[in-house]
């Protein structure tokens, strides 16, 4: 096929063949460096590339995203990792470049969900980042380029079938986008409103203090939400997503899901968790599963058997008081919502996961109730005025 069309292995499912992507006018803005991408690979690749490109531009740092099923499991910018965080992400033995730090953070947000992810990187893939990715289970990468030393490391993954896609960073699509559903053509103006700091000027609460770190994390949250299947709510801190609640029909369910993930992200950094002694040869996904079970209350006997087999000696589980005391230390977290927050129950739940700053469009009939709840907790809340539904 020509550069304006690319054959795919199959569509969403193996029985959906043939499948391909094409440009109606001009060449595809990417080339396949290695492997053969599938339909869902390219949906993840093109959505995630938009996220990291926009996030890097908004924050002026390298950006990375870990995508699963057309939503980010994690997204982050390239800030150095604290020692505790490096241990929780299993990267304390690596010398990480800023781009590698971004991916370690993106992957570390929700390591269970990131298993078998699609990776997007805002910058050219360097050796440090390739060495990190080599250790993780993923399916492919989209980036504006690859250093020569990175290609053989990455192309050898998955028995040589790992997918590398190089995208033209200057490519911009047209103003209108088109899709077909059930034989019917939909068309709309592309969501090209940039996420920038000017969206953060309308602080509606008594607490109006927004430190630069909070503004940065609000931008991280908003960019991530822009490319997440709606409804969606996310928690962000330290330049990264720490909990994403995507694709739920109820906003409180989004908040609960994102909050549970944020809690586990923080609990992974507990000294007792970082001190766990795994069985020799236990693979990284199995360690992630064991930690998740270790931090899950009320596991089944089968899950307990898995847990028993993961450790050299059975560790003492965290007590309710230990969990509570540790979670109370999580603070300074941003909650972002892709549409207005309809009830104060979202605020009550967010506070339990360290939320001290909130960014949402506003516009609910109960805005005053939500603002009142924020005032009770001393939360600073911004109305961005911009809804970010994505379907």
In the set 15, 24, 198, 391, the catalytic residue is 391
DSSP states of 165-232? EEE-TT----SEEEEEETTEEEEEE-------GGGG--B-SS-----HHHHHHHHHHHHHHHTSPSSE
Distances (CA, A) of 386 to 212, 222, 227, 339: 21, 10, 14, 8
For 14, half-sphere exposure in the C-beta direction (CA atoms, 13 angstrom radius) is 0
In the set 69, 207, 253, 375, the catalytic residue is 69
In the set 231, 264, 270, 289, the catalytic residue is 231
Give 44's DSSP letter.
H
H helices of 275-366, where? 284-294, 301-310, 320-327, 345-351
Antiparallel, parallel or unpaired: β 232-237 and 333-337 = antiparallel
Residues 6 or more apart whose CB falls under 8 angstroms from that of 152 comprise none
In the set 34, 68, 139, 264, the catalytic residue is 68
Tokens found for residue 230:
């709606």
Distances (CA, A) of 372 to 40, 139, 202, 344, 375: 43, 46, 16, 8, 5
Which strand (E) or helix (H) includes residue 105?
helix 98-108
Helix-strand-coil percent breakdown of the chain, rounded to 5?
35, 20, 40
DSSP states of 225-274? HHTSPSSEEEEEETTEEEEEEES-SSHHHHHHHHHHHHHHHHHTTSHHHH
Other residues' Cβ atoms within 10 Å of the Cβ of residue 161: 13
Specify whether 68 is catalytic. Answer: yes
Specify whether 231 is catalytic. Answer: yes
Other residues' Cβ atoms within 10 Å of the Cβ of residue 78: 28
Distances (CA, A) of 96 to 219, 273, 313, 350: 24, 23, 31, 32
Tokens found for residue 137:
């289970």
Burial of 384 (0-12, 13-18, 19+ CB in 10 A): buried
- From first CA to last CA, the distance across the chain in angstroms is 30
Q: Which residues carry out catalysis?
A: 68-69, 231, 391
């Amino acid at each position: 096929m020509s550069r304006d069309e690319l054959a795919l292995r199959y569509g969403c499912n193996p029985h959906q063949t043939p499948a391909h992507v094409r440009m109606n006018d001009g060449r595809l803005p990417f080339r396949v460096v290695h492997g053969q991408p599938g339909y869902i690979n390219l949906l993840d690749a093109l959505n995630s590339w938009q996220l990291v490109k926009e996030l890097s531009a908004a924050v002026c740092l390298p950006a990375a995203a870990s995508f699963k099923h057309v939503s980010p499991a994690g997204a982050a910018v390239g800030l150095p990792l604290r020692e505790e965080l490096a241990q929780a992400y299993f990267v304390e033995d690596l010398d990480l470049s800023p781009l590698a730090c971004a991916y370690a953070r993106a992957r570390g947000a929700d390591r269970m969900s990131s298993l078998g992810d699609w990776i997007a990187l805002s910058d050219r893939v360097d050796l440090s980042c390739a060495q990190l990715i080599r250790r993780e289970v993923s399916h492919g990468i989209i980036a504006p380029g690859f250093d020569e030393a990175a290609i053989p490391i990455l192309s050898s993954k998955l028995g040589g079938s790992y997918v590398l896609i190089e995208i033209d960073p200057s490519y911009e699509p047209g103003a209108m986008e088109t899709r077909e559903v059930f034989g019917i053509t939909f068309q709309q103006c592309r969501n090209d409103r940039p996420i920038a700091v000017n969206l953060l000027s309308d602080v509606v609460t008594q607490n109006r203090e927004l430190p630069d770190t909070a503004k940065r994390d609000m931008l991280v949250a908003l960019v991530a939400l822009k490319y997440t299947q709606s409804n969606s709510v996310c928690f962000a801190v330290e330049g990264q997503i720490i909990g994403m609640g995507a694709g739920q029909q109820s906003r409180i369910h989004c908040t609960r899901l994102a909050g549970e993930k944020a809690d586990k992200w923080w609990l992974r950094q507990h000294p007792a968790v970082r001190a766990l002694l795994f069985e020799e040869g236990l693979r990284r996904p199995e360690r992630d599963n064991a930690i998740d079970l270790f931090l899950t209350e009320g596991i089944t006997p089968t899950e307990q058997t898995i847990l028993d087999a993961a450790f050299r000696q059975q560790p003492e589980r965290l007590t309710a008081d230990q969990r509570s005391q540790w979670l109370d230390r999580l603070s300074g977290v941003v909650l972002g919502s892709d549409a207005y927050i309809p009830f104060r129950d979202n605020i009550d739940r967010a506070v339990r996961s360290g939320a001290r700053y909130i960014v949402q469009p506003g516009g609910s009939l109960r805005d005053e109730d939500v603002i009142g709840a924020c005032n009770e907790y001393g939360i600073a809340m911004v109305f961005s005025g911009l809804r970010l539904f994505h379907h």
